[in-house]
Structure 1
Amino acid sequence: MTSEKISVLYVDDEENNLVSFKAAFRIKYKVFTAISGTDALKILEEHPIVIIITDQRMPGMTGVDFLGQILEKYPDPMRILLTGYADMVAIVEAINKGKIFHYLTKPWNEDEVISVINAAYQKYLENKLLKETNDKLAVSNDQLEFMLRQRLLS
């Protein structure tokens, strides 16, 4: 792990849950909280977020809807769905629409959350490295194609 704290955005419509999450994890992670999907979008615009944990059942915008909405503009953060309800439809929808990394149940267990965040961060780093490698490969491929065209023209 790096010396810089992992940035985690926690979205939940219950103020007590936001306070509890921040109190439990603020020392280990750089925690941002949002009481709605709309507030979370504002945070995403202003801060680089690595991990997003969102409650499923929220008024106005469910966690799945929020994750699906941010996917195009913010594809890199690892997404985790949190819900107190055993709702298989929501889980399947979250996997398909929100491309979640993991599913957690409420009430959350601190050790489990830490374990999932750390696993998500490792996957985030792997994805970042893969993207950087693919970008370098694309540049090399373009350079080789250019050199081949030059050789064919001469």
Structure 2
Amino acid sequence: MSEMAIVCVDDELSILKSLEIELIEAFEDRYIYEFAETANEALEIIDELEREGTRIFIIVSDWLMPGIKGDELLIRVHNKYPQIIKIMLTGQADEESIERVIKEANLYRCLTKPWNNEELVSTIENAQINTN
């Protein structure tokens, strides 16, 4: 089992299931995969993984979610764990929110829904190359 994790956050369970299938198909057991339906759940998962000594490699977050939106989540994650690579996966984020995450959370990439699986996989692979 890997000591690096990918955390996916989306309020739609079907999106999380699709991400799970695609990531496991592409990367098999290279990473630990965690999935959250809310920003608060994601923050709890990230803190728990960090306490256990698991390095979170990437967080993939939707933008439009109830409660805390994805831009705010990614900024909070960046402030606490700046080494985590941030990807926003959305069909509805406005330019202002995207710009804010780029500036305040060092957003690595913004992918639009419906996403292209090859683009998501290559984004993660390129992020891996760029962090080594």
Q: Normalising by structure 2, what TM-score? A: 0.85
Please tell me whether residue 54 in structure 1 is matched to residue 91 in structure 2.
no
Q: Which has the higher contact order (CA 8 A, sep 6+)?
A: 2
**Greater strand share, 1 or 2?**
2
- 1:61 match: secondary structure: coil
Distance 1:17 1:23 in 2: 10
Q: Secondary structure at the match of 1:72?
A: helix
- Residue 52 of structure 2 corresponds to none
Alignment length (residue pairs): 123
* Equivalent position of 1:8 in the other structure: 6
RMSD of Structure 2 on Structure 1 (CA): 1.8
Q: Which has the larger radius of gyration?
A: 1
In the alignment, the residues of structure 2 paired with residue 86 and residue 16 of structure 1 have an alpha-carbon distance, to the nearest angstrom, of 19
Percent identity among equivalent residues?
Answer: 34
Q: Please, which runs of 5 or more residues in structure 1 have no aligned partner?
A: 126-154
Counterpart of 2:19 in structure 1 is 21
In structure 2, list runs of 5 or more residues that go unmatched: 50-54
Local SS of the residue matching 1:71:
helix
CA positional deviation for 1:98: 2.1
Question: What displacement does 1:59 show?
Answer: 1.0
| Secondary structure of the structure 1 residue equivalent to 2:42 | helix
> 2:90·2:112 contact (CA, 8 Å) conserved in 1?
yes
